[in-house]
């Protein structure tokens, strides 16, 4: 199995995840091809117990939908693809909202760290994500850091993904 690490850089917390190449082969291949990755991290506004980072469209083709869910569980890693206009509204709170509009697609890589998540957005409705990985080590420590991110703020924190 292919493994990756997920790190909240400022908080110095790392978890390990196994990629689900058997059920999400196209998504896993797209992620592995793009690694290593690092970007500003955000805490989910709608889904509940989620952190994520946004990236400009990866090289190659979009994997399309595979192994989708609207109810991710703790430890799930999900891929979402959005058009730039989907995230361009100031309501989303991104300091670079205008920059999102300039790109053909935005890849959202999300980490779910707690229960009772529901992928629905007030502007778009249901937002299914491709489940491409599962955290196998360090979920408790990452969850505590994510809760700190929620309460303490995300400004300046980055999420780094790399091959393990």
Query: Mean of the per-residue pLDDT values for the chain?
Result: 90
Question: Which of 40-44, 75-79, 144-148 is predicted with the least confidence, judged by mean pLDDT?
Answer: 40-44
Question: Which of 10-14, 85-89, 103-107, 138-142 is predicted with the least confidence, judged by mean pLDDT?
Answer: 85-89
Q: Within a domain: residue 33?
A: yes
Per-residue pLDDT, 80: 95
pLDDT confidence of 7, banded at 50, 70, 90? very high
pLDDT confidence of 5, banded at 50, 70, 90? very high
User: How many residues are given for the chain?
Assistant: 164
Judge whether 95 and 88 are in contact, CB under 8 Å.
no
pTM of the full predicted structure? 0.91
Cα angle for residues 67, 27, 76 (degrees, 5° grid)? 55
Q: Within a domain: residue 120?
A: yes
User: Which range marks the domain in which residue 62 is found?
Assistant: 3-153
Q: Within a domain: residue 42?
A: yes
Question: What would the mean pLDDT of 121-142 be, rounded to a whole number?
Answer: 93
Query: Which of 68, 72, 107, 69 has its CA nearest to residue 86?
Result: 107
How many domains does one find in the chain?
1
Q: Within a domain: residue 98?
A: yes
Q: Within a domain: residue 99?
A: yes
Q: Within a domain: residue 159?
A: no
Question: Which of 69-73, 100-104, 120-124, 146-150 is predicted with the least confidence, judged by mean pLDDT?
Answer: 100-104
Q: Within a domain: residue 161?
A: no
How many CA atoms lie less than 13 Å away from 101 in the CB half-sphere? 8
The continuous run of DSSP H or E covering 69 comes out as strand 68-69
Per-residue pLDDT, 161: 98
pLDDT confidence of 93, banded at 50, 70, 90? low
The percentage of the chain sitting over the pLDDT mark of 70, rounded to a whole number, equals 87
Per-residue pLDDT, 11: 97
69-89 per-residue burial string, b: 16 or more CB within 10 A, e: under 16: eeebebbbbbbbbbebebbbe
The model's pLDDT over 97-116, given as tens digits with 9 standing for 90+, comes to 555 556 678 899 999 999 99
Judge whether 34 and 158 are in contact, CB under 8 Å.
no
CATH of residue 97? 2.40.100.20
**66 pLDDT above the threshold of 80:** yes
Q: Within a domain: residue 164?
A: no
Question: What would the mean pLDDT of 17-34 be, rounded to a whole number?
Answer: 97
């Amino acid at each position: 199995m292919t493994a990756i690490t997920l790190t909240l850089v400022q908080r110095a917390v790392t978890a390990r995840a196994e990629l689900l190449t058997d059920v999400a082969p196209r998504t896993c291949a797209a992620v592995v091809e793009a690694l290593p990755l690092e970007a500003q991290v955000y805490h989910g506004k709608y889904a509940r117990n989620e952190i994520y980072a946004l990236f400009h469209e990866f090289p190659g083709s979009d994997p399309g939908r595979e192994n989708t869910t609207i109810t991710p569980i703790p430890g799930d890693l999900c891929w979402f693809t959005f058009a730039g206009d989907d995230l361009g509204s100031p309501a989303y709170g991104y300091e670079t909202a205008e920059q999102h509009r300039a790109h053909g697609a935005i890849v959202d890589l999300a980490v779910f760290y707690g229960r009772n998540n529901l992928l629905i957005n007030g502007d778009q409705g249901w937002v299914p994500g491709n489940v491409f990985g599962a955290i196998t080590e360090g979920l408790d420590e990452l969850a505590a850091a994510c809760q700190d991110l929620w309460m303490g703020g995300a400004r300046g924190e980055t999420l780094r993904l790399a091959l393990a």
